[in-house]
Amino acid sequence: MAEEPKETKPGFQNPVAGFGVTFKAMFKKRLTEQYPEQQKTTAPRFHGRHQLNRHPDGLEKCVGCELCAWACPADAIYVEGADNTDEERYSPGERYGRVYQINYARCILCGLCIEACPTRALTMTNEFELADSSRANLIYTKEQLLAGLEDGMVDTPHAIYPGTDEQDYYRGLVTEAAPGTTQQVAISKGEVPQEADSTFGEDEPASEKVIGR
Ligand code: SF4
Ligand code: SF4
């Protein structure tokens, strides 16, 4: 048996019904966000730009193990580890991350890398404004990703807290830099130690050849 045709509104009512949708929408609360003038607060566990964290004395938590790079499904992380020395120390243990890069042209902000990190060196911040017009600018280097210095910290490289070992850092026994801690010379980054004692007298600089990056 043939199906009964559906009852339709008379032809002149259809445009009116269409405008009815428009009129209803006009009185609804607007959802437009006035970005970037008004920024929405992100959720506390939002997956934003990464951060490489420090211990409370300023030494770096990254040990250059590359587990984050292996866990990344987008191949967005590049890590090169290197050995610490007593003269140039970046982390409390044997190794540190000498080169660390994240390519935000590839990263999908999934967070698998931070789950893989054994030292909680890598976490994610709430910062989401990562757009750029250049691919090169989207490759963030270690210097850009490393957390800033807080009270009680000294910038790396510097010596481990006297009388402690790497485990003590993870037990929370080191809460700030030891008194008198000073930054060491970053020879691996191209800094050069001062060459000779001053020839200009006690109040003059020790050498004309200053330490520079
Ligand atoms: S958030 Fe995901 S895609 Fe981005 S670097 Fe980490 S693992 Fe890779
Ligand atoms: S961030 Fe974590 S997982 Fe990645 S190299 Fe450093 S210590 Fe290893």
pLDDT digits (tens, 9 = 90+) for 159-181: 999 999 999 999 999 999 999 99
pLDDT digits (tens, 9 = 90+) for 113-159: 999 999 999 999 999 999 999 999 999 999 999 999 999 999 999 99
Residue 78 lies in a domain: yes
The pLDDT assigned to 197 comes to 55
Residue 26: phi and psi, rounded to 5, are: -65, -30
CATH code (residue 166): 3.30.70.3270
Task: Name 201's Cβ contacts closer than 8 Å, sequence gap at least 6.
Answer: none
Domain enclosing residue 110, as ranges:
50-189
What is the domain count for the chain? 1
Residue 165 lies in a domain: yes
* 181's tokens: 């801690």
How far apart are the CA of 56 and the centre of ligand 1, in A?
26
Taking a C-beta distance cutoff of 8 angstroms, is the pair 204, 196 a contact?
Answer: no
Pick the residue whose CA is nearest to atom 7 on ligand 1. Answer: 72
**Side chain identity at 117, as an amino acid letter?**
C
Residue 121 lies in a domain: yes
Pick the residue whose CA is nearest to atom 6 on ligand 2. Answer: 62
* 163's tokens: 């009388």
Q: Is the Cβ atom of 122 under 6 angstroms away from ligand 2?
A: yes
Q: Is the Cβ atom of 107 under 6 angstroms away from ligand 1?
A: yes
With tokens 């999908």, the residue in question is 108
- The model's pTM is 0.80
Pick the residue whose CA is nearest to atom 8 on ligand 1. Answer: 72
